[in-house]
A and B are shown apart, each in its own frame.
Chain A
Amino acid sequence: MMEPFRKNTGDVLQTIHAGLSPYVGKLMARTAAEAHCRELGFYGSALDRQQIDILLQKIRLGLVIFLGKEKTDAVVQEMQSAISRLGETH
């Protein structure tokens, strides 16, 4: 059985922000993560695994234009791992 996977939205956005900042700057990292979340209709205080995957995939599609596939995959993988390490929420 799959383990429960629900992370606090603010913490997830903060983690994505930290992963994106070195490449797209602090301002755009914050703006992009929040804007993608809104676009996808993720307004809740927590995100499940599927929502996080969709959000990261959306970010990946933009980032790949600047960083290429290989580097983008590494950056997204790093963000994914950091999000997995976040504590569970209800």
Chain B
Amino acid sequence: MSRPRALLFWLALALPVAFFTGQALAPEASLYTQPVLLYWMGAVPKLAFGALAVLVGIFVTSRFEPDNPSRLAWWLWTAGCLGTWVGQAILAVYFATRGEIAVFPSVADPFFVAGSLALAASLFAFVRVTIRSGFTPLNATHRWVIGLGAAVLSTLLVLPVLWPVLETSAPALEKFLLLAYPALDLLMLVPALLLLRLTASLWGGRVWTVWALLAGGILCNAAGDILFSYFSGLGKTQLEALIDIAFLLGYGLFAAGVIHQRDLLAG
């Protein structure tokens, strides 16, 4: 990405993030009392960054040869991004046609769930190919220890969210989905943390930048899902801005990561 384009990209991400940070700090300000503005300020960047991630992801996948193990990992990652993008697009249609915000549960949920599953599978595939590359100093024992550590850490992060949701009186499907999202995040956090550790030794290289951005995107999306489940389950909506910030950063980092990978392949 050229310098002016990179500047434009980060500015496009920073603006909505700054907008919602303002909402988190001063929710009573007049700027934040208009639901239509609030909705589109969140939805448009998410859809734009999501579409960018999918389109560039298709390009990146196609650039890897059929026998290259990275191809499957990138294919799964792109499919995961597509699933979540379709989910976001459906929510946007709900708002545009019926004026309903964050319809839950909805037709969008199967896409979000399928997308999350594909993203989790892609992360496990990325871990596998990174190990296979030989560019990691960790042996199998180290990897197991780190994997188990990541599993314990992720469980500690997700469990406090799952328990209160379990005790709510929400309908069965709603409760299932409220539990499914943090559980899927747990599934994604383990390989994401493992990947971050595995690639820490690539620090300073362009490959590291790609993995750091993708893993950062996973962490932000997981934070968004956890906050969403927590606030939806307990009916606490006053910190919605934090959910928007987490998802915006998640989608933005996904797009940045795949653009860096494209540059790596083509540059």
Q: Indicate, yes or no, whether A interacts with B.
A: yes
Establish whether residues A67 and B265, one from each chain, have CB atoms under 8 Å apart when the complex forms.
yes
Establish whether residues B264 and A63, one from each chain, have CB atoms under 8 Å apart when the complex forms.
no
Using C-beta atoms within 8 Å of the partner chain, give the interface range for chain B: 20 to 34
Establish whether residues A67 and B264, one from each chain, have CB atoms under 8 Å apart when the complex forms.
yes
Contact of B133 among A26, A27, A29, A65 (CB under 8 A): A65
Rounded to whole Å, the gap between the CB of B170 and the closest CB of chain A is 44
Rounded to whole Å, the gap between the CB of A9 and the closest CB of chain B is 20
A23 at the interface (CB under 8 A from B): yes
Secondary structure of the A side of the interface?
Answer: helix
The segment from B3-11, B201-209, B233-241 that touches chain A is B201-209
Q: How far is the CA of A61 from the CA of B201 in the complex (A)?
A: 18
Interface size on A, residues (CB 8 A): 24
Q: Given A22-B206, A23-B206, A65-B129, A28 and B134 touching (CB < 8 A)?
A: no
Q: Which residues of B contact A68 (CB under 8 A)?
A: 63-65, 68, 70, 265
Establish whether residues A25 and B63, one from each chain, have CB atoms under 8 Å apart when the complex forms.
no
Q: Mark A52-73, 1 if CB is under 8 A from B, else 0.
A: 0000001001111111111100
Establish whether residues A31 and B201, one from each chain, have CB atoms under 8 Å apart when the complex forms.
yes
Q: Name the residue on B nearest A69 (C-beta).
A: B65
Rounded to whole Å, the gap between the CB of B191 and the closest CB of chain A is 16
